[in-house]
Amino acid sequence: MESSDIAGDLTTILVTEQQIHDKLDELAAQIDSDYEGKDLLLVGVLKGAVMVMADLSRAMKKHVSIDWMAVSSYGAGTKSSGVVQIRKDLDSDLTGRHVLIVEDIIDSGLTLSWLLENFASRGAASIEVCALLRKPEAAKVQIDCKYVGFDIPTDFVVGYGLDFDERYRNLRDVAVLAPHVYS
Ligand code: XMP
Ligand code: MG
């Protein structure tokens, strides 16, 4: 992406590509060790988690299965509605599986809390969450997230899979979106 495309749209770079990769290496090693001897299914939440899934799963030594789910709780705005709709369901049966949900970001926590309840009803043996980013001050429900990359302020961020209105997903860093873009 040309920097002129984004000039003025982003305020600060919050997490750099290098910081992301160092952190994902750390989390991958921890997950490898926690799930030693167990089959693990990584479930990525589309579309934001695509980059995290690609880099986290390849940083792991373990062989894992990967599946995807698409849900929506956002429109073109920047606030979670709390109303979650399944746009694409899993292909896998979760019965008896060890599941690790891979997310880009936990904001209000509403999407994940809904997903956790939904997955629990499908009979998984265990369910944990790995999120690259978390906004602690935006939490409306408490999510027990075992693997967290970075706690960040409540600003709306884009890049590394995160979008505003489908743009900026392919930025390599995570950056704060300038308020004039969405207000
Ligand atoms: P909740 O509020 O339910 O939101 O935890 C989770 C989903 O909302 C999206 N989200 C964001 N997307 N920049 C984005 O590009 C952000 O700052 C942001 N905050 C929340 C994201 O899809 C996440 O999975
Ligand atoms: Mg998401």
Whether residue 179 is predicted with pLDDT greater than 90 in this model: the reply is no
Reported as a single tens digit per residue, the pLDDT across 105-160 is 999 999 999 999 999 999 999 999 999 999 999 999 999 999 999 999 999 999 99
Dist CA 179 CA 167 (whole Å): 15
Q: Where are the domains of the chain?
A: 18-73+82-151
The alpha carbon of 35 and the centre of ligand 2 are apart by a number of angstroms equal to: 24
pLDDT level of residue 84 (50, 70, 90 thresholds): confident
Pocket around ligand 1: residues whose beta carbon is below 6 Å from it?
A: 45, 48, 73-74, 80, 103-112, 156-158, 162-164
- Amino acid identity of 77? G
Phi then psi dihedrals of residue 104, to 5 deg: -75, -45
Q: Which ligand is nearest to the CA of 47?
A: 2
Dist CA 54 CA 45 (whole Å): 12
For a ligand 1 pocket test, name from 74, 81, 181 the mutation site with the most ligand atoms within 8 angstroms of its C-beta: 74
Q: Using the atom order of ligand 1, give the atom closest to the CA of residue 74.
A: 8
Catalytic site positions:
107
The ipTM, to two decimals, is 0.92
Per-residue model confidence (pLDDT) at position 7 = 63
Task: Choose the CATH number for 18-73+82-151 among 3.20.20.70, 3.40.50.2020, 3.90.1150.10, 3.40.50.11540.
Answer: 3.40.50.2020
Per-residue model confidence (pLDDT) at position 180 = 87
- Closest-CA residue, ligand 1 atom 19, reads 107
Dist CA 106 CA 136 (whole Å): 8
Cis before residue 146, ω within 30 degrees of 0? no
Whether residue 76 is predicted with pLDDT greater than 70 in this model: the reply is no
Per-residue model confidence (pLDDT) at position 73 = 74
Q: What is the pTM of this model?
A: 0.92
Q: Using the atom order of ligand 1, give the atom closest to the CA of residue 164.
A: 15
pLDDT level of residue 4 (50, 70, 90 thresholds): very low
Give percent above pLDDT 90 in the chain.
84
